[in-house]
A and B are shown apart, each in its own frame.
Chain A
């Protein structure tokens, strides 16, 4: 088991969790009822994919971020 603190963007709220091996980003977001959010460890690492194991990527007691989905782009011009 690892402890994890999720900072929810827009609220500043911190949600404390305990996760088991194999817990995915999707599991975390579902548990926190944050359907339209993405998890990341910060600006230096990409967003977690929904099926990606968070457990393997975080240290015990680490703080990560949940931010609402956004995309840079102009629909006609950008992929």
Chain B
């Protein structure tokens, strides 16, 4: 005999739920509120006062960073322990060593907000790995 009847058992709740939805048809759609978050927050950066901590993230690599917002709108972007790829980038001269492997990234053109600066640094990291 190729098939052995092992008896029956109740279907798991997920399958029962699925079947009952199929049987009674689709209910009205429930609108879902989308979260409106700034880029820095959506990408896991945290803020304490005027200092932000997080990671510059690309598909190639992620680097620990922190950002300081100063009065008057000036923003400093720091990156920890840049890789050889970043050190080989044409903009490596714009990374100023601040001790213990922290580097201040000098901006020739200042971003107007923290999120724009993070995106700019992440673009530079991507370029460094694609060069």
**Interface SS majority for chain A:** loop
Kindly identify which residue among A40, A43, A68 contacts B112, using a CB–CB cutoff of 8 Å: A68
Category for how many chain A residues contact B:
20 to 34
Q: Shortest beta-carbon distance, A8 to chain B, in Å?
A: 9
Kindly identify which residue among A44, A65, A68, A79 contacts B111, using a CB–CB cutoff of 8 Å: A68
| A74-B106 in contact given A9-B113, A68-B116 (Cβ < 8 Å) | yes
Q: Name the CB-closest residue of A to B60.
A: A44
Kindly identify which residue among B34, B111, B119, B120 contacts A14, using a CB–CB cutoff of 8 Å: B34
Number of interface residues of B (CB under 8 A): 36
Q: Shortest beta-carbon distance, B72 to chain A, in Å?
A: 16
Give the number of A-B contacts (CB < 8 Å).
98
Task: Map CB proximity to B onto A50-79 as digits: 1 under 8 Å, 0 otherwise.
Answer: 000000000000000101111111110111
B64-107 interface (Cβ within 8 A of A):
90-91, 93-94, 105-107
Q: List, in ascending order, chain B residues with CB within 8 A of A43's CB.
A: 56-59, 119, 122-123, 125-126
Q: Name the CB-closest residue of B to A63.
A: B34
| A71-B119 in contact given A43-B58, A43-B126, A77-B93 (Cβ < 8 Å) | no
Q: Shortest beta-carbon distance, B108 to chain A, in Å?
A: 4
* A36-B91 Cα distance, complex, nearest whole Å: 22
Docked-complex contact A72 and B124, CB < 8 angstroms? yes
Q: List, in ascending order, chain B residues with CB within 8 A of A9's CB.
A: 38-39, 113, 115-116, 119
Q: A70-B117, A70-B120 are in contact. List 10 more A-B contacts (CB 8 A).
A: A9-B119, A36-B112, A40-B119, A43-B57, A43-B119, A68-B111, A73-B109, A74-B106, A78-B90, A78-B94
